[in-house]
A and B are shown apart, each in its own frame.
Chain A
Amino acid sequence: MDLAVRDLKLHKGRFLATVLGVGLLFTIVLTMNGVYRGNVFEGTALITHTGPDLWVVERDRGGPFNEQSSLPEILADSVAAVPGVAQASPFIYYPVERSIKGVSRRFSIIGYEVFGGLGGPRELTRGRPITQAHYEMVAHEKLGVRMGEKVPLGLHTFTVVGLTREAVATDGEPLVYLSLADAQEFLFQRDNEEVRNQRERQRRSLAAQGVSPAQVERLLPHLAPDTHIINAVLVRLEPGADRVQVATHIRDWLYLSVFTTQEEVELVIRGRLARMSAQLLFFRTLLLLVSVVIISLVIYTFTMEKIRSIAVMKLIGAPNWTVVRMILEESLLMTVSSFLIGLGLIYSIVDLFPRKILLLPGDTMFTFLVALVGGFLASVLGVWQVLRTPPGLALGGQ
């Protein structure tokens, strides 16, 4: 005879209310799991999807995702000349905020060599890759642009030729792929007014140094800021090449920093994602504790309400285990039911979140086990009350 089920059936109103409330808490716990995993996934998706053998960045920088890295484009040729390197491609990654269809949007620009270079989009959901040197773009679906749409960016207008959804920027915002030259122009070229102002400043500075006006005019074009800047060089190794040896060569001879894709992922996880992970872990722990406390209080109240019945059971000879099992089962039933409600709810609303919520079976199972242990602990107060209930209470004596 299942005493716990019979008791909960009698109090089904309160049972359902509790299970619904705690279920909502579990929904938040599972959401936090998903937010954390989603952040890690989005934070590292671009790195793993791009997936070169080596990332070459400015010396002593953890770039290009964890911190800014700036290199002259010509270094890509130097890297390509390193023994063991099959291909070296310049790469630009730059988060920006610009107006798209009249709405200010954050997104990240990826600039890559569109004619066979590394770093471009690998899978398109619609359209084609960029096939012209200028004024074409491939955008992530999250940006909200349509195929063939004309999108003004900087001084030029770009045509959307392809859509992708395989990766987002490390901050979860959509990506826009441009040709390397377009990306450099968009990101590093100043507008005409700024160019004129700078020329005037340089003209005055050179004149103050005693340079003749004719010489100044000859010098000025050579002092214009360089837009041939990249953030990283992506390297594909020759078959059988020693990754460590190539990386050491680039570090020692080109004075650059080199990371494998795995090291880039770890840089991001240890860097920009570390505090967020700790924050979410703390929040999840807190929520689990709150759930356990609520279940514990409900079980304790349930126990206190039937204390006389418990005394009767003990008086007619029920072993402690029979009564303790009833309390334990009630607690575990409450925990499991709440968890199932939480699980059902999160799976039904997961697509409504603006950023990716990644629910992994391993995380869900771990949370379920923690919840089960919590449910077990939640019954401790009730069990303690059962053990100290004197059977004589049933007679009104003692």
Chain B
Amino acid sequence: MALLEVQGITKVFGHGHLEVRALDGVSLTVEAGELVALMGPSGSGKTTLLLCISLILEPTSGTVVFDGQTIYRDGATWLDVRRLRREKIGFVFQTANLIPFLTARENVLFPLTLVGTAPKVAAARVMELLEYMEISARADYLPALLSGGEQQRVAIARALANRPQLILADEPTASLDTARGKKVMALLKRIAREHRTAVVTVTHDPRMIEGFDVIYHLKDGRLENSPEST
């Protein structure tokens, strides 16, 4: 059974002559532990698709099935989407988007507090993740004192905090140089392999997705091709 099934997702913004069809009947499937890349030019609908998958943005029509459960069908949402996001989905953004007034440690701790993890367990988990990301020496630094690459590693640690089944990454290497970008992508691949966490990442840089399992190309809100394996 696929972890994520998206069937015929359409997203329309505006009405009448101002109508913009950002997604037009997009369907895709993501298996557990699979590395999926969404590629396409600017405005092709990549970020909108990520938003619709996580139900941050409600699709206009279509179906989203997550872990065997229909979470959205034709205008109706079937569960507490915030709970779904904090328990089962991790996010990595273009920029690290760390909360500036929390230290690296607290940023990673934050999602754990949201699900009520016991303090001792949470503290151990945070250190485990920071060590995994090789950033534990800077655990008590505020984001402003970390480099871009370090911030992005903290952001990935935060995304992994609640052991999500799916990581959605929106151009996670856009603000990094090629070397650091490749390191971040290598990290995501390692996570997918070691934790069987599916990773769906949006990118327009083909160098960053070497070794990905499936690549989708989007153009004008439509998938241009059948899934392509690398």
B47 with A397: CB separation less than 8 A: yes
Interface members, chain A 284-318 (any B CB < 8 Å): 306, 308-309, 312-318
B101 with A312: CB separation less than 8 A: no
A312 CA / B102 CA spacing, docked (Å): 13
Interface residue count for B (Cβ, 8 Å)?
Answer: 31
Most B CB atoms within 10 A — which of A9, A315, A316, A397?
A: A316
Q: Tell me whether chain B's interface is mostly helix, strand or loop, or mixed.
A: helix
A395 with B47: CB separation less than 8 A: yes
Most A CB atoms within 10 A — which of B90, B110, B113?
A: B110
Interface members, chain B 83-97 (any A CB < 8 Å): 83-87, 90-91, 93-94, 97
| A322 interface residue (CB < 8 Å to B) | yes
B97 with A1: CB separation less than 8 A: no
Residues of B within 8 A of A306 (CB): 99-101
| B9 interface residue (CB < 8 Å to A) | no
| A20 interface residue (CB < 8 Å to B) | no
B47 with A396: CB separation less than 8 A: yes
B47 with A394: CB separation less than 8 A: no
Closest to B115 in A: A317
Interface members, chain B 77-133 (any A CB < 8 Å): 82-87, 90-91, 93-94, 97, 99-102, 106, 109-111, 113-114
> Which bracket fits the contact residues of A?
20 to 34
B111 with A312: CB separation less than 8 A: no
A7 with B101: CB separation less than 8 A: yes
Residues of B within 8 A of A396 (CB): 47, 93-94, 170
Residues of B within 8 A of A271 (CB): none
B114 with A322: CB separation less than 8 A: yes
A309 CA / B85 CA spacing, docked (Å): 16
Q: Which of B50, B86, B100, B110 contacts A1 (CB 8 A)?
A: B110
Residues of B within 8 A of A390 (CB): 56
Shortest Cβ distance from residue A386 to the other chain B in the assembled complex, whole angstroms: 14
A317 with B57: CB separation less than 8 A: no
| B32 interface residue (CB < 8 Å to A) | no
Shortest Cβ distance from residue A393 to the other chain B in the assembled complex, whole angstroms: 10
| B51 interface residue (CB < 8 Å to A) | yes
Q: Which of A1, A7, A314, A392 contacts B57 (CB 8 A)?
A: A392
Residues of A within 8 A of B83 (CB): 317
A10 CA / B111 CA spacing, docked (Å): 21
Interface residues of A (CB under 8 A from B): 1, 3, 6-7, 9-11, 306, 308-309, 312-319, 322, 390-392, 394-398
Query: What are some 25 contacts across the A-B interface (CB < 8 A)?
Result: A1-B106, A1-B110, A1-B113, A6-B101, A10-B100, A309-B97, A309-B99, A312-B97, A312-B99, A313-B99, A314-B82, A315-B54, A316-B90, A316-B110, A317-B87, A317-B111, A318-B82, A318-B110, A390-B56, A394-B93, A395-B170, A396-B94, A396-B170, A397-B48, A397-B57
